[in-house]
Structure 1
């Protein structure tokens, strides 16, 4: 199995003088990125930070975020990315839970690193700028022997339970993520430019290495803002962009794409959460027939399945998450792990080289999620159609059992989203004396639009079975979402159940 560190070295050697990164008015060549990575690793080694050390990263999107990542990969460090949006308490829980002994921060997040160092005994904080300080003699590659099973990334995911858990990826699995993307989703060329607006610690960051090994460039924005993002497509002549559905909705709602120069785009990629059909229709209208969807999860990034641009030409497939990736062995199973009959709903189980090594220090969770013969049980429920396309139904923990019937929230949400007044919606189960769980909807309306509860309930009843329709509808200003745009149903469900205690 190829190592992630080997891919970093391969790209640096092959494309030394090509532009690798662009941030604002600054840019770095492949050779410059590689030299910065080696310099960071050199300084860390001087502080006794070597192979196997768990290093928390408070590094925002910027010119040095990729050199920092490559330094950790080549030096055999275990990087623990921290989302800058989280609170001090959340960061402290992640640092202590991951056993990180070092935190590296950029200038914007240095104060938070100092707060963590003051709170957590033995935690050492280093400024990223100091790790880039020049030295008298040229710095070579980190002197470290690596293997495919060496942990390389410890990435926190809250999943559907809300309880923090950390996924461990290795030198081998992280390299396999790169190969998976190249085989199933992207074919970067030396003139390719991927525009990054989402945080590089999430899915967006997995696209960097595939471009690196093919000679392409990564144009990085500090964050997502519709007008500046639309302008950046033309400024950087971006050939590919990667967005979550919420970003598409913001682009369309803001008018930022009106008159924008999108002529450089070859592919528009989306994932992380389901795309509402009205948003997808508008996106195809605006960008053209170049949309591709991926389905994956932190435990198995990035592509478990892909709905490519050719499939997007068939509106009957817009509800599918795609065909299984070519490097994935996938089956749908029941609670006992037995494969379900064709056409029936089952939990997605998979084998793949890019699968996580496991959850960090979570033996019980690993026992539930990983079988002895190498299958990962994803907790995602899905079915195959007669053409072999995979259709996600929901998470096992989100399923509602009302009056003895299984109701999958996404099916109800899709029906609600088809109402012209609905901007966003989420469906959960609420406690109910008669039904045990009552289907309950939370809805935000489009600006200027009106709708009432009976109207929306009847709208759903006209589209799906009556027992699946909401028993009640709550109108809210916003639907809670995670940092990557996933709807947090638990944030809506938990207060409803706490009221009964």
Structure 2
């Protein structure tokens, strides 16, 4: 079976003048977008970038993400998107891990990019570097199309290799099950280094719709675009929805063009949903993960309103099962770890075969992905995400792994013991709370410890709250009982 990974070329021929991307105040048509993609491919060919080599990006949202995404299907390189919110030390680890052939940066990232790679170039140079001719690459379904990083429980995120089959099937079934049309339009405000490209941006372009790139999320600008550019879809994480609803312009913004809104990253709190319901906006809850695309379930808008906590039922080309603690499949209604199988599952973690083997298991003639998430299925086949078997929590749409924060805490010479848990937060959904035991005779303030962590971790990973204790609760063998800490400090799921 062969599918066309270079599908943008067809759309450019079908409707070259149709608006594709709104970028820095102007609309770019499909024809012009594809011309920019070919020019970017020529620039990379001029640098000697070849098949299978990584090309890294360190940038806020930028047109260059799309230029590289589509140019990859022409040259066979692998776009590798770095989280610009990470610390320099974290980024250096990712650069050493993936060994990219080239690094491109966006506004505000030049200093960090140059320290990572003295030869780093601004994304604008994709349209200006000396170009070389190239023989178009024919992508196979299993060829790696993209590397996206998932949160790392060992301190270094893992690069999920997404093959072309994943991108193509995800785009097609998202367009189908979400009822997208060529007339749909939405604002790309969630990070493009994360899931924004796969979630709705490229599925909508795949269908011939249009997208608007907001370089950095700004509630006032976003609301102004809603009124001026008339998007028909909204896609944000709960924190962003809350920031919009709290903005003074929200009350008089005209949302009449919006067909529905989808919340990703974490469940959207009821008060936030109610604020949009008062504006006539219907909500849908999304669920996905880097290793299996970002649109794993679907639910009709009417049913989504009736069951707002449900993520829905599996996409047409995806199979789901629940597995209990004994490794037995849960039949019918019940709760267990969510496993997923289908063409949207990653091919593995880049250069991490042992980690890949832990989460990709062959059973019943299928390759199953162990998500690590606990889900509940009701009698009607609807799924509800009820917790995480891992200790991860989600803060403002970003995954935070306590063990990574704890390792940084232990780097402080006065920290004897620590445990990090997620606690509810009105703005971010969940934030970190660090429970710390200091070494005898030590004196340390909350601000001093927070400042220490900021030099080692991305800002969103730094705990918002600190509690200094004389001792941490432990089991008989000496294991720290995080469950007791969570109960003591009132943790609930976001």
TM range (shorter): 0.7 to 0.9
TM-fit CA distance, 1:281: 2.3
Q: Give the superposition deviation at 1:2.
A: 5.6
Kept after mapping to 1: 8 A contact 2:285/2:308: no
Cα distance, 1:37 vs. partner? Answer: 0.9
Q: Partners in 2 of 1:358 and 1:30 — Cα distance?
A: 33
Contact 2:51 2:75 (C-alpha < 8 Å) held by counterparts: yes
Q: CA deviation at 1:175?
A: 1.4
Which piece of structure 1 moves more, 330-339 or 344-353? 330-339
| Alignment-derived partner of residue 234 in structure 2 | 241
1:307–1:280 distance in 2 versus 1, CA, 3 Å: farther
Q: What corresponds to 1:125 in structure 2? A: 120
Structure-2 separation of matches of 1:84 and 1:276: 27
Query: Residue 310 of structure 1 aligns with which residue?
Result: 302
**Map of 1:361 onto structure 2:** 351
Aligned to 1:349: 339
**Deviation string for 1:403-454 (max 9, x for gaps)?**
xxxxxx99xxxxxxxxxxxxxxx9x99xxxxxxxx998835469xxxxxxxx
Q: CA RMSD in A?
A: 3.7
In structure 2, relative to structure 1, the CA distance for the partners of 1:79 and 1:308 (3 Å cut) is same
Cross-structure match for 1:196: 188
Alignment check: 8 A CA contact 1:348 1:382 kept? yes
Q: What number of residue pairs does the alignment pair up?
A: 426
Contiguous gaps of at least 5 residues in structure 2: 395-399, 404-418, 428-449, 454-459, 474-479, 481-494
Task: Tell me if the contact between 1:300 and 1:354 (Cα under 8 Å) persists in the aligned partners.
Answer: yes
1:325 aligns with 2:306: no
The answer (yes or no) to whether the contact 2:43–2:129 under 8 Å persists in 1 is no
Residue pairs, 1:99-498, within 5 angstroms:
99-118=99-118, 124-133=119-128, 143-158=136-151, 163-189=156-182, 191-206=183-198, 207-288=200-281, 290-314=282-306, 317-372=307-362, 373-398=366-391, 442-444=423-425
* TM-score, with length taken from structure 2: 0.77
CA distance in 1, matches of 2:269, 2:361: 34
Could you tell me how far apart the structure 2 residues matched to 1:52 and 1:144 are? 11
1:345 is paired with a residue whose SS is: strand
After TM superposition, the score normalised by the length of structure 1 is 0.76
Determine if contact 1:203/1:302 at 8 Å carries over to the other structure. yes
Q: 1: CA distance between counterparts of 2:3 and 2:125?
A: 28
Offset from partner CA, 1:19-54 (integer Å, 9 cap, x none): 111123222111111111111111111111021111
Match of 2:224, SS state, is helix
Question: 1:494, CA displacement in angstroms?
Answer: 12
Q: Deviations over 1:202-222 (max 9, x none)?
A: 222122222222221111111
Indicate if the aligned counterparts of 1:55 and 1:78 stay in contact, CA closer than 8 A: yes
Residues 3 and 489 from structure 1, CA distance in 2 versus in 1: closer, same or farther, beyond 3 angstroms?
A: farther
Asked if 2 retains the 8 angstrom alpha-carbon contact of 1:41 and 1:142, the reply is no
Q: Tell me, yes or no, if structure 1 residue 39 matches structure 2 residue 39.
A: yes
Q: 1:284–1:4: structure 2 CA closer, same or farther, 3 Å change rule? A: farther
SS of 2:370's equivalent in the other structure is strand
How has the CA–CA distance of structure 1 residues 348 and 444 changed in structure 2, closer, same or farther, with 3 Å as cutoff? Answer: closer
- TM superposition shift of 1:201: 2.0
List per-residue Cα deviations over 1:323-371 (Å, max 9, x = no partner).
Answer: 2222211110124542124332111111121111111222222122111
Counterparts of 1:496 and 1:81, CA distance in 2: 40
Distance 2:354 2:125 in 1: 41
1:247–1:2 Cα change, 3 Å: farther
User: Partner of 2:9 in structure 1?
Assistant: 9
Name whichever of 370-379 and 124-133 sits farther off: 124-133
Distance 1:55 1:91 in 2: 14
Residue 309 of structure 1: how far off its partner (Å): 1.3
5+ unaligned residues in a row in structure 1: which ranges? Answer: 119-123, 400-408, 411-425, 430-437, 447-477, 481-486
Q: Distance in 2 between matches of 1:54 and 1:306?
A: 33
What CA distance in whole angstroms lies between the structure 2 residues aligned with 1:232 and 1:113?
A: 31
Q: Are 1:2 and 1:172, in contact at CA under 8 Å, matched by a contact in 2?
A: no
Q: Deviations over 1:170-228 (max 9, x none)?
A: 12212122123112224122x22111111222222122222222221111111212221
Give the corresponding residue for 1:78: 78
Contact (CA 8 Å) 1:185, 1:303: kept in 2 or not?
Answer: no
Structure 1 342/489 Cα, relative in aligned 2: closer, same or farther at 3 Å? farther
Which deviates more, 178-187 or 58-67?
58-67
